[in-house]
Chains A and B, each alone.
Chain A
């Protein structure tokens, strides 16, 4: 089996074959859209999470009727898919009020296309004790509403089990990603990103055997052909591996990432002891490291510099979605911070849908050339 093709196929449709199969077996898919949503809580007792994407979206004619012109194209594309019925298979969704755009998505979906179960989490903008306590309570309410609606068991034992399985799964993904650190990596950033996105788009358990096989095979896989530069790829939501594919086709191998939909900060282990809801609240609130947080500005920028050094990246590419206020503002300070650290950096703006390929290629090629590579 050509695993790369198989994973590509999985990403073509939000309700992919694995999702349909799990549904046929009686499992319940719940959509979510942001890293602040504790997907672990949607992986308990017959539920499974589906990170919402809009693969292949061609236009947003329906959504444009409801959203203002300054709403980002990710939000717009999700609403489009919601309105034209491509998310009808979901039996519920959980959003996070992480930015105003996603709040508008929730409002509109709630009004226009509400599924059986719908909830939005109130996410504090700080990570101190009071905020964690608040978020713990918010997650307790989520657990209660899931239990009330679906009759599933979200007790402490069930949640602890789900955390353990989540950590075990992420450990496999992380181990695969570690191969990118090598001087001669045997996995591209594109292939790796495809695995990570597939993990969010499918019932995780079904992917374990194939991911285990990839992990086993990687040490003996031939190194990739020569490339021109090692890059760290930074940004918020990006679920199209094709974008990284274009960068890599110009000779910039993506050896590390800091993406909401990537390996860092998302694949760190969650504590498996103590009160699971409190552990989840603390983990998701403090580890997500989103520019929406009104603190730790320097730490977030420094994190990127440290990652670039850790992965021995020759340069950093920051990509932001147009009209994303949170990333748009903070990317400017990231840019100067990274440059002051002596690391070449390129900032790219993009739409959710991959377009303008020629210009993207020119920018990447010129960036690599300007590094003298």
Chain B
């Protein structure tokens, strides 16, 4: 009898992610690619990459059930269904660690706080507004001002001796403010600490709306930003639980888990 495989595809604004599970619920492949203009192409490419690297799968046609998620989820015509990224992140984080009760998901253009119920479903959620302040896009813009790549900028605040506040919430105004601070020869690390602090405060506002229950984890691409994680830990006064899976893949993983639940019934 042929083996069954289940897929989750998270079509984000900045990256496309795919995860493949086998019929035993083991994660056998994951992929992350930069997003294309067309979400359908992003989904195809991310899935093809994951399927190619998954032993025994090879082709997307061999997936028994596929769930699309992320902002482009409605544009994945070959998926069996789509589920919101909020439910997928909750399920993905719960699968990694069932003791997780709260998630901050910071992606390329939005930020969400999610309270997780005891079964991995969503108990409550809050989402930032349509503005992209404090998300991956914001960090990309900031790193450009510092003439650094994103990884380098993410670590910059770790060596700060103090925090120079960046008051503007708007990405455009923050950019102007940071350029002025740099021009006045303030230490770049201290300004970077101010930027991480401003984003951390936005997360705090969202978390207050859903209630912060331990244990807390951070998912999405910005979970790979060590400066931000340090600032969140300081602001929330709580440890941030690291996950066993790449935090950027959690949405796709959640979608694959939900796909395995539905696909196994077929």
Contact = CB atoms under 8 A, between A and B. Distances in A.
A366 B130 contact: no
Given A365-B84, A369-B84, A359 B127 contact: yes
A318 to B, nearest CB: 14
Interface string B148-184: 0000000000000000000000000000000000000
Contacts of B127: 359, 362-363
B236 interface: no
A366 B129 contact: no
A358 B129 CA distance: 11
Nearest to A322: B129
B83 interface: yes
B122 A366 contact: yes
Most chain B CB atoms below 10 A, which of A355, A363, A366, A369: A366
B121 interface: yes
A366 B123 CA distance: 10
Contact of A362 (B71, B123, B129): B71
B125 interface: yes
A358 B71 contact: yes
B129 A369 contact: no
Nearest to A348: B127
Interface residues of B, number: 16
Nearest to B85: A362
A370 B116 CA distance: 10
Q: Which residue, B84, B85, B110, has most C-beta atoms of chain A within 10 A?
A: B84
Interface in A325-373: 349, 355-356, 358-359, 361-363, 365-366, 369-370, 372
A356 B127 CA distance: 12
Given A358-B71, A362-B71, A365-B84, A372 B121 contact: yes
Contact of A355 (B71, B87, B123, B130): B130
B129 A349 contact: yes
Contacts of A365: 83-84, 86
Interface string B110-144: 10000000000111110101100000000000000
A68 to B, nearest CB: 18
Interface residues of A, number: 13
Contact of B110 (A349, A359, A369, A372): A359
A131 B21 CA distance: 67
Interface in A234-252: none
A152 B115 CA distance: 61
A246 to B, nearest CB: 12
B125 A370 contact: yes
A223 to B, nearest CB: 23
B11 to A, nearest CB: 11
Given A369-B122, A370-B121, A372-B121, A359 B83 contact: no
B204 to A, nearest CB: 18
A365 B84 CA distance: 6
Contact of B122 (A349, A358, A361, A370): A370
A356 B129 contact: yes
Contacts of A362: 71, 84-86, 127
Contacts of B124: 370
Contacts of B125: 363, 366, 370
A359 B109 CA distance: 10
A370 B123 contact: yes
Contacts of A361: 74
A362 B87 CA distance: 10
13 contacts: A355-B130, A361-B74, A362-B84, A362-B85, A362-B127, A363-B125, A365-B84, A366-B84, A366-B122, A369-B83, A369-B84, A369-B86, A370-B87
Given A363-B127, A369-B84, A369-B121, 17 more contacts: A355-B130, A358-B71, A359-B129, A362-B71, A362-B127, A363-B125, A365-B84, A365-B86, A366-B84, A366-B87, A369-B86, A369-B122, A370-B86, A370-B87, A370-B122, A370-B124, A372-B121
User: Top 4 closest A-B pairs, CB basis?
Assistant: A356-B130, A366-B86, A365-B84, A366-B84
Interface of B: 71, 74, 83-87, 110, 121-125, 127, 129-130
Interface of A: 349, 355-356, 358-359, 361-363, 365-366, 369-370, 372
